[in-house]
Structure 1
């Protein structure tokens, strides 16, 4: 009961912070007389920004780009080098994920050391062959604006992905930034999985585009194996998740959970993908932080259907932007709705199979990393529509 109360309190404060932050940026946006650009306007804004930086992109064939990617490769990011290799030479600067430090001094030293190493790695690569584009999954916590200014000053197009900006666009914890607001103006384009967050970037004088996560069909693919689990969930055990799962179990639903904090423990990537195929139903949660009301698109929204899994997840309205809900994936509003849909799917295996196949087809057609990056590289003017390079 005490733990449940703590979760509800944390959820309340996170939801309040997110609502206040969005309201603050909306007011600034309106007061500044700004407007959201359409696709053509955004393309022109990018060209203008690049010209101001004296960068005049030359579209290359697929396979000819020189890419510098910098992020912590310990989760979904591991698929990026392989996916990006389709577009050319990929150079990776990675580090292990680091939690917040006990004191600001230790964090500042870590950040300084990390940025020195990043610049050293970039300088070596850029000297050997000019880098066309930097792709980052960076934040104010791990990256200094001086580092971005130095790299950008070499004529490199700057691109950054942000998946936590509904809750962590601005702000700090124990004197350490828990945000991206400080670095976003140093990127030529910021990619967000939250449509409503775009307004925050434009208010900060930056450019942004709604660009959800994706999956790699060579990495996330179906396995022809018999069902072993009725319902499975793969992800960390925190917030309301264990209470939700226990509620389903109390009604006789067999839910097998894997990941940090669950009894079954963590899985390798291969084991995880196989379980998607071995499960009649793959359960999902859309909540941000400790909140169930504050939701965003998740990597598993694309990885599970791409892996051939039948997907039942929380009713996040943004899913309608990427799937035909009810025909390609299913959503639930609460425990009772989830329970009813689980029972229906188990009782109607032929209908469940149709949904599974439709979700797989949609993911394979529209939600690959190759398509995501191809669209962005063309928008930035560095990739043409011709055939692949002879050297690819």
Structure 2
């Protein structure tokens, strides 16, 4: 099949942040499954001058390439509802969106865009009922996974180069936690943005995981509850021993103290580190079992095939239930995506206000975020339309 992947190539659309998790995982999996992949970068702020140009280009590539499936990852309002509904109504393209951070983004994003897709995915079981109650029945509960290209048999603890390692940015309370471990006599070798060792090449990460007696993972999220992320699968997939902070839903993927090990507090983390460093045979057994569980159930090739099947099934059902579906005019949407004098005044006011509070470097981004928070709360799905205020006021901030 021909698959149109509509999401960023780089993390947050920024080449300095490296290749994005979704791009690295989904594109390679689709190619391994012998699909033809077309990538449309909807996150890179240097490609298009505004959202109107982005949406025009997306419709054009759909018309030219006529993909069987369009798989998107939406950050927020970059793809208009009008654009999605035009593609949805074509009849020849099954559309499905992989959602991220639904623990908090469901309320802000997913519930507003869900009806414009034939199918949605979520990695949070607790929001499936919310989708259904909001009139979005075609939702697939899925999860992150490991890239099969990094799969390696574990090595014994006695051959590992690192005792305890952590790979990830030094944001949130991670520095504080590492400091607390150090105060208890536990040294952790850290890699990533904000640590003394700095960032490392992507291909080095699986090696570090495999060559660490213990690989740590912190589940703290930008907002809301702890989250299951790709790292939960990448560590055991790379042949590493995963000691991870608990996140809801993790028990559906692995068995604690049999395939991975879970902690709930920094105190328990320190105790478990000391325990497994003193019980290497038990560590090796858990590592081996976790690796085989990952290899058999938690690789992206399996996830992507499930997603494609679900998209096609949902598309077929949608066509039966919507035999006379009429779409809207993109030309009208395009005309509504203009910055009038009223919005220009509001834009200037918000930027000035945020400048007084956060300074020159952060004022533009802060103003956009403030407008978005106001918009989804009071304007709802209009936030994600061509006429949405925040998209008109702050293109590519």
TM-score scaled to structure 2, two decimals? 0.70
Residue aligned with 2:107, SS:
coil
Match of residue 134, structure 1, among 70, 73, 81: 70
Residue aligned with 2:86, SS:
helix
Match of residue 5 from structure 2: 69
Distance in structure 2 (CA, Å) of the matches to 1:304 and 1:369:
14
Contact 2:168–2:192 (Cα < 8 Å) also in 1 = yes
Match of residue 91 from structure 1: 38
CA RMSD of aligned residues (A): 2.3
Distance in structure 1 (CA, Å) of the matches to 2:154 and 2:65:
38
Match of residue 116 from structure 2: 186
Is 1:110 matched with 2:50?
Answer: yes
| Matches for 1:16-165 after TM superposition, within 5 Å | 65-74=1-10, 75-77=20-22, 78-85=24-31, 86-96=33-43, 110-126=50-66, 131-155=67-91, 156-165=93-102
Deviates more, 1:148-157 or 1:347-356: 148-157
**1:188 positional shift:** 1.6
Contact 1:79–1:219 (Cα < 8 Å) also in 2 = no
**1:96 positional shift:** 4.6
Distance in structure 1 (CA, Å) of the matches to 2:37 and 2:189:
38
Residue aligned with 2:56, SS:
helix
C-alpha change, 1:290 and 1:191, in structure 2 (3 Å) is: closer
**1:339 positional shift:** 0.5
- Where structure 2 has 5 or more consecutive residues not aligned to the other structure, the ranges are 11-19, 315-397
**1:382 positional shift:** 6.4
Match of residue 272 from structure 1: 205
Residue aligned with 1:92, SS:
strand
Residue aligned with 1:331, SS:
strand
Contact 1:184–1:204 (Cα < 8 Å) also in 2 = no
Residue by residue, what CA displacement relative to the aligned partner does 1:293-325 show, whole Å, maximum 9, x if unpaired?
x11211111111111110001122411111111
Distance in structure 1 (CA, Å) of the matches to 2:44 and 2:258:
37
Distance in structure 2 (CA, Å) of the matches to 1:342 and 1:334:
12
Distance in structure 2 (CA, Å) of the matches to 1:382 and 1:208:
11
Distance in structure 2 (CA, Å) of the matches to 1:110 and 1:169:
25
Deviates more, 1:145-154 or 1:275-284: 145-154
| Equivalenced residues, count | 298
Match of residue 314, structure 1, among 245, 253, 256: 245
C-alpha change, 1:117 and 1:381, in structure 2 (3 Å) is: closer
Contact 1:167–1:288 (Cα < 8 Å) also in 2 = no
C-alpha change, 1:118 and 1:263, in structure 2 (3 Å) is: farther
Contact 1:227–1:278 (Cα < 8 Å) also in 2 = yes
**1:220 positional shift:** 4.6
Distance in structure 2 (CA, Å) of the matches to 1:124 and 1:351:
56
Distance in structure 2 (CA, Å) of the matches to 1:201 and 1:148:
18
Match of residue 232, structure 1, among 153, 165, 170: 165
Distance in structure 1 (CA, Å) of the matches to 2:308 and 2:42:
25
Distance in structure 2 (CA, Å) of the matches to 1:228 and 1:140:
42
Distance in structure 2 (CA, Å) of the matches to 1:250 and 1:316:
26
Residue by residue, what CA displacement relative to the aligned partner does 1:119-178 show, whole Å, maximum 9, x if unpaired?
23222211xxxx21111111432211111112222221111111211112234xxxxxxx
TM-score scaled to structure 1, two decimals? 0.71
| Matches for 1:309-348 after TM superposition, within 5 Å | 309-348=240-279
Structure with greater helix share of residues? 2
Distance in structure 1 (CA, Å) of the matches to 2:201 and 2:27:
18
C-alpha change, 1:211 and 1:240, in structure 2 (3 Å) is: same
Distance in structure 2 (CA, Å) of the matches to 1:92 and 1:223:
34
Contact 2:71–2:97 (Cα < 8 Å) also in 1 = yes
**1:261 positional shift:** 1.7
- Where structure 1 has 5 or more consecutive residues not aligned to the other structure, the ranges are 1-64, 99-105, 172-178, 384-392
